Amino acid sequence: MPVGGKKLCICFIDGQGGGIGAALIRRLKEVYQEEHDAIALGTNEVATAQMMKARANRGASGENAIVQTVPTADVILGSLSIIVANAMMGEVTPRIAEAITSAPALKILLPLPRKGLEIVGLIPEPLPPQVEKAITGRLKEFLKHV
């Protein structure tokens, strides 16, 4: 059931091959079906295409699409790298990282390993448990309070 009768805009941001975003979208659709709009925002067309195959409702690629869309999001999901300028082999531009961190949306970020970035106290986990925690844990908790 949409929150308060309103479908939320949930943006999934990914780059390179789009596998993380696609995994998140697939799980969102399994749990919530079409209750919320899943927006695929790829740093490149390949990433966007993979997320669209995972059944995103809409999708767009590139810096300007991400910068223009994230301020309208209710929730943003992706790996921690989406807020790190020049991450993903330079695909996450400083402008993308700034737009995401400045957006008023809740950001649910998966702390996947990134060269040169360590989060103290973090226990490394494979992608599937992180996706599960993001969708059925943190997102579900957020939806209870909107």
Which residue segments constitute the domains of the chain, with CATH numbers given? Answer: 9-144 (3.40.50)
67-100 confidence digits (pLDDT tens) = 999 999 999 999 999 999 999 999 999 999 999 9
The pLDDT of residue 1 is: 44
- Position 49 pLDDT exceeds 90: yes
| Average pLDDT in the chain | 93
Average pLDDT, integer, range 23-50? 97
- Position 4 pLDDT exceeds 70: no
| Least confident span in 3-12, 36-45, 52-61, 89-98 | 3-12
Average pLDDT, integer, range 9-25? 96
Q: With helix as H, strand as E and coil as C, how does the chain read? A: CCECCECCEEEEEECCCCHHHHHHHHHHHHHHCCCCEEEEEECCHHHHHHHHHCCCCEEEECHHHHHHHHHHCCEEEEEHHHHCCCCCCCCCCHHHHHHHHHCCCEEEEECCCECCECCCCCCCCCHHHHHHHHHHHHHHHHHHCC
Average pLDDT, integer, range 38-66? 98
- Position 22 pLDDT exceeds 70: yes
The pLDDT of residue 145 is: 85
This model's pTM is above 0.75? yes
